[in-house]
Amino acid sequence: MEAYLQKHGSEAEITAIQHADLSIATSKQLQKDLTQLSGKKVELLPNAADYDLFKTAFTDKLEKPEDLQKIPQPIIGYTGNICHRVDYDLIQAICRSHPDKNLVMVGPRNHSGHTDIDLDEIPNLHFLGPKRLEQLPSYLAHFDVLILPFLINEVTKSIYPLKINEYLASGKPIVATPFSEDIEAFGHLISLEADHLLFAEGIAMELKGNSAEKSIKRNEEASKNTWEARAETFWTLLNQTL
């Protein structure tokens, strides 16, 4: 199926847009590319998050997950698919630059073939496996800083990661690579670093400079990016089209 989509998916996507009354894209780059390729206007409807669920990492005193209890803090945390989008050289650089901290990655491991680094040999790197969505706030609540360590390439430049709003809802400090125009739009609330060493330094700076005021601002930003708000935007776009 994947081979079929690689061969025919893009062409079918453009054909569908050309015959649709309303087409939407989840990122700014994807919107631009599809508009140009199809010759028809494509609307932007970015990803969002379950704010009511993830804000509990900020507002509630959540119990520390059992598999996190034996990992000493400070903890650098990541939640999501561990796949072809992740910069594994950056992961290694973070662990080397912060030997006094532990990097915990929560999510399915699908990195086979995408790195030659033996990730299991890194002493302060921990993989806790995939979790149910409703379990994630408990992990975010006990992480000290959150990361989005994506590669900067043609694939990631079209990504609006829904996890940015999950992260922001937790109120925790965040460091990301500037992989897309969409993630750069959050630059007033998070640290954006392309260089590996500067990324590692950004983690230390975010930890040192964190405050209650900053946490509140992050959480408030996430409250604007809910699925309910996106649904309202969708119906507005649909009504305008009709």
Domains parsed from the chain with CATH numbers: 2-47+226-241 (no CATH), 51-222 (3.40.50.2000)
**Predicted confidence pLDDT, tens digits, the chain (242 residues):** 445 545 555 788 899 999 999 999 999 999 999 999 999 999 999 999 999 999 999 999 999 999 999 999 999 999 999 999 999 999 999 999 999 999 999 999 999 889 999 999 999 999 999 999 999 999 999 999 999 999 999 999 999 999 999 999 999 999 999 999 999 999 999 999 999 999 999 999 999 999 999 999 999 999 999 999 999 999 999 999 88
Which uninterrupted H or E stretch holds 34? helix 28-38
Read off the pTM. Answer: 0.93
Task: Write out the two tokens for 40.
Answer: 């028809």
DSSP letter at 85 equals T
